[in-house]
Chains A and B, each alone.
Chain A
């Protein structure tokens, strides 16, 4: 290379790098923890008497196997839920179903919004099956569906995709594939609801299951048009011990990630974030058991944390509620939602609506999706002694 050519190339390089800096910092700034502002739950004054209700979202059996349900409050009022169902977990006929509930009306008849054929056509690539999904609304009143698709292998060969609806689930944009890992984009999964939705960023807990299992967060930009989805990723912990993080936000911009165990220890764990959510502490074990199953938690306005989990180190045959008054240090079991030997009640998803009621959806024996709703007055009246474990 002659010297004039080298200088010319250096000039071109400076222009290219200047363009790249401008793109990254001004034109398309990506969402991330820097944009994060915690939004602690708003206190709701209610004199409502104790209230508890349960119902199947899908009273007619829609598939031989249903699992991984997710619920979200609609921006215009009401609720929507999504889950997957098929002949069995990981089968080719698995589809993600969607249902809505407006006011006192029952849940609408579930309809499929994604299956492997539609995913294949929308993503223009081979999709062998679809799986877990998470549904949530952003500050622009749009619904997001983040779902798992698998092209090769089992769950460890999965990747994530996004669909957005501007009309509360009536129509959806085509799926958008997310690149989240540099190694063939393998093994990114989602299960738990997002947290602390702000205009700048939405954090969705995800996890990896390829070579090692560990929890992460994908940050989406909640602003802009549906055609431009921006995302970035942050790791909660490394190692090979924890998956399916559920993140709660408490006072002081503090985040806590409660983690499903995938070791032989069979106990839940928690990781605390720094004040600005930029870094996470090493997970520590809790005194609650975990049979290797998903859990969910919410932060209540009075500072308490509420958790729904399988209260066993071996099986998913019960589903209990526990409350912590000291930011997750100690927990007290308060109610049993389900308990039946040899059965499976799993993968709960819990939210608190704008009226202060708690909603939980979960797989009921893999035959139905159960929707449980109660208020804080009911919760305050519950106590389950530890001997009930």
Chain B
């Protein structure tokens, strides 16, 4: 397989995962309950296979999946793994994971924080807010690689599995699996940034609400019984 074909094939991975996940929201309402068709394996495989077939169908000479690539050709690795993880959790109904999520709460916080911080660092300046262009660091990314190595080793030392996602991004960069030769594009993209922002806000609100409930219950205990 030539490198061009490899890049072409990889460009369809995110559209495939993303579309399967979106369609699973419609066709996979309850993974443990009734789902058409009923057989166990078919029940889990038909949607990914059908989506793949759909994305390979040509429309006006271009595979449908490549129409998505026309909007954005460089979906970052963390976003690809994130969507893949959501799909896998939905696919298995978390049964294979002993009911646990693939990323624990602290790991999800780091995942969202990474997306938000890199996005905030990159996009305003790259779009012309300043004369500095941080995107230029990604062309010959020695400094960026050192920074990412420090982040990855720190995360690994604390047992945070988001480090594996960064390692996957570096592996993809080494193989030049995206159209872009810029390291930034392997680490972050606008959709990952927005997803991180939304999820981060959700996590923050949940935490605030949890703290509110905890305080309320503590107050409740403090009310003397009459």
State the A residues within 8 Å of B (CB). Answer: 1, 6, 9-10, 12-13, 16-17, 19-21, 23-25, 28-30, 32, 120-121, 124-127, 151-152, 177, 179, 181-185, 208, 210-214, 216, 230-235, 237-240, 282
Contacts A13-B153, A179-B182 given; indicate if A20 touches B8 (C-beta within 8 A): no
With both beta carbons as reference points, the residue of chain A lying nearest to B67 in the complex is identified as: A126
CB proximity of A201 to chain B, nearest CB, Å: 12
Establish whether residues B145 and A239, one from each chain, have CB atoms under 8 Å apart when the complex forms: no
**Alpha-carbon gap, A23 to B179, bound state (A):** 16
State the B residues within 8 Å of A (CB). Answer: 8, 60-63, 66-67, 69-74, 122-123, 126-133, 135-136, 138-142, 145, 148-149, 152-153, 156-157, 159-161, 163-164, 167, 170-171, 173-174, 178-182, 184-185, 188-190
- B170: contacting residue among A16, A211, A214, CB under 8 A: A16
List, sorted by A's number, 23 A–B pairs whose CB atoms are closer than 8 Å.
A1-B160, A6-B159, A13-B170, A16-B171, A16-B174, A19-B174, A20-B145, A23-B173, A29-B140, A124-B63, A125-B66, A125-B73, A151-B70, A151-B71, A177-B179, A182-B123, A184-B72, A210-B127, A212-B127, A235-B132, A235-B136, A238-B129, A238-B132
Contacts A9-B156, A16-B167 given; indicate if A237 touches B126 (C-beta within 8 A): no
Chain A residues within 8 Å of B135, by CB: 181-182, 233
CB proximity of B98 to chain A, nearest CB, Å: 16
Classify the secondary structure of B's interface with A.
helix
With both beta carbons as reference points, the residue of chain B lying nearest to A29 in the complex is identified as: B140
**Alpha-carbon gap, A32 to B181, bound state (A):** 14
**Alpha-carbon gap, A120 to B67, bound state (A):** 10
**Alpha-carbon gap, A239 to B74, bound state (A):** 26
Chain A residues within 8 Å of B8, by CB: 124
- A9: contacting residue among B126, B164, B170, B180, CB under 8 A: B164
Establish whether residues A238 and B185, one from each chain, have CB atoms under 8 Å apart when the complex forms: no
**Alpha-carbon gap, A214 to B132, bound state (A):** 12
**Alpha-carbon gap, A17 to B139, bound state (A):** 15
**Alpha-carbon gap, A25 to B174, bound state (A):** 12
- B73: contacting residue among A9, A13, A29, A177, CB under 8 A: A177
Chain B residues within 8 Å of A184, by CB: 71-72, 190
Chain A residues within 8 Å of B140, by CB: 24-25, 29-30, 32, 232
Establish whether residues A10 and B156, one from each chain, have CB atoms under 8 Å apart when the complex forms: yes
**Alpha-carbon gap, A238 to B129, bound state (A):** 7
Establish whether residues A234 and B136, one from each chain, have CB atoms under 8 Å apart when the complex forms: yes
- A126: contacting residue among B70, B132, B159, CB under 8 A: B70
Establish whether residues A20 and B170, one from each chain, have CB atoms under 8 Å apart when the complex forms: yes
Chain A residues within 8 Å of B185, by CB: 179, 182
Enumerate the 4 nearest inter-chain pairs by beta-carbon distance, A residue then B residue, closest first: A212-B128, A179-B180, A232-B139, A125-B70
Which has the most chain A C-beta neighbours within 10 Å: B129, B141, B182? B182
**Alpha-carbon gap, A151 to B73, bound state (A):** 12
With both beta carbons as reference points, the residue of chain B lying nearest to A1 in the complex is identified as: B159
Which has the most chain A C-beta neighbours within 10 Å: B127, B167, B184, B188? B127
CB proximity of B122 to chain A, nearest CB, Å: 6
**Alpha-carbon gap, A6 to B167, bound state (A):** 13
